[in-house]
Amino acid sequence: MTAQIFAIANQKGGVGKTTTAVNLCAYLAKAGCRILLVDSDPQANATTSLGIDPRKPGTSLYDVLIDNRPVQEAITATSLDGLDLLPANLDLAGAEVEMAARMAREQLLSKALQPLTCEYDYVVIDDPPSLGLITINGLTAADGIIIPVQCEYLALEGLSQLLETIQQVQRVLNGRLKVAGVLLTMSDARTNLSTQVVEDVREHFPLETFETLIPRSVRLSEAPSHGLAVLNYAPESAGALAYEALAAEFMDRFPIGIEANSEGLPETPGAGTPDPTVF
Ligand code: ATP
Ligand code: MG
């Protein structure tokens, strides 16, 4: 059995990529899945959010990608059973420049993860807010991309560029890649704007958009400062319940035991390849 690999990506900053990566992984682990979260952002927000200090010496994703350190050396357990982390640190900021001169520079992450795929049910990659080489590495390694979209003004801006990048990766580097889901984040049912964005996104991505809507929730933004996933910080909060529901919907959409093969993820209602020209 090999892991299904998902990249959480959107070049727009602050849309909820890391919050989604950490909390989706936490609830998948709680449900009994074996999870690896890969922090591929030099900001190391996912690493910090799980209570791991990115300044502490130790092997990180940088050493794996750039210095060919064995990936197993970098993986660390977290306080949640079943959830392992491949941590980032600030060194990653220089990695794009160093990767640029490498042979098969887009495939470094994919190759690095290969020895691990039997050990996990899902691997989730938290990507940085750019379409640079690190994100391309994430998309090249992944079976599916999850795109968080913030329910705010200009939410859809930049999505056509992202979809074009996805199509290029599909054509040139990774024919398995699919849009596994679009996730609406930070919604606020009290504002017309938020409701309008929800409608627009569902109209553009009728198959891909997750039913689960992530509400704006103070508890979700507080949990990382305690080094905790929301399930260990405020499990009854609206944000926690939403990520728990998302994990259930995710497992339904991408059941364990149905392997991603050379064709990619099984055809599911959510795994499509939307046309970037719709915008
Ligand atoms: P970056 O592009 O910098 O990596 P990101 O897309 O990973 O950002 P997050 O770091 O997850 O986004 O979220 C941005 C900010 O919004 C953080 O302070 C986070 O705590 C907060 N946040 C995320 N989701 C929610 C939510 N549903 N409710 C309230 N605050 C949220
Ligand atoms: Mg982030």
DSSP per-residue letters across 146-203: EEEEESSTTTTTTHHHHHHHHHHHHHHT-TT-EEEEEEEEEE-TT-HHHHHHHHHHHH
Closest atom, ligand 1, to C-alpha of 187: 27
Ligand 1 contact, 140 CB (< 6 A): no
Task: Give the pLDDT of the chain (279 residues) as one tens digit per residue.
Answer: 789 999 999 999 999 999 999 999 999 999 999 999 999 999 999 999 999 999 988 999 999 999 999 999 999 999 999 999 999 999 999 999 999 999 999 999 999 999 998 999 999 999 999 999 999 999 999 999 999 999 998 888 889 999 999 999 999 999 999 999 999 999 998 898 899 999 999 999 999 999 999 999 999 999 999 999 999 999 999 999 999 999 999 999 999 976 555 556 655 444 456 665 555
* Closest C-alpha among 83, 90, 78 to residue 52: 78
Q: Which two tokens stand for residue 45?
A: 């927000």
Residue of 221, 241, 243, 244 to test ligand 1 pocket, by largest number of atoms within 8 Å of CB: 221
Q: What is the pLDDT of residue 250?
A: 98
Residue type, 154: L
Ligand 1 contact, 214 CB (< 6 A): yes
Ligand 1 contact, 239 CB (< 6 A): yes
Phi, psi angle pair for 153, to nearest 5°: -55, 140
Q: What is the pLDDT of residue 153?
A: 86
Strand partners, 5: 123
Ligand 1 contact, 186 CB (< 6 A): yes
Closest atom, ligand 1, to C-alpha of 218: 29
Radius of gyration of the chain (CA): 17
Q: What is the pLDDT of residue 260?
A: 54
For ligand 1, the distance from its centroid to the CA atom of residue 13, given in whole angstroms, is 9
Strand partners, 146: 8, 181
pTM for the full predicted model: 0.94
CA distance 237 to 117: 33
Residue 38 contacts residue 155 (beta carbons within 8 Å) = no
Q: Which two tokens stand for residue 256?
A: 């364990």
Using N-to-C axis directions, what is the helix angle for 133-141 and 159-172, rounded to 10°? 60
For ligand 1, the distance from its centroid to the CA atom of residue 216, given in whole angstroms, is 10
User: Max CA-CA distance within the chain?
Assistant: 51
Residue 90 contacts residue 44 (beta carbons within 8 Å) = yes
Using N-to-C axis directions, what is the helix angle for 17-30 and 238-253, rounded to 10°? 70
Closest atom, ligand 1, to C-alpha of 217: 28
For ligand 2, the distance from its centroid to the CA atom of residue 14, given in whole angstroms, is 7
Residue 34 contacts residue 257 (beta carbons within 8 Å) = no
For ligand 1, the distance from its centroid to the CA atom of residue 263, given in whole angstroms, is 33
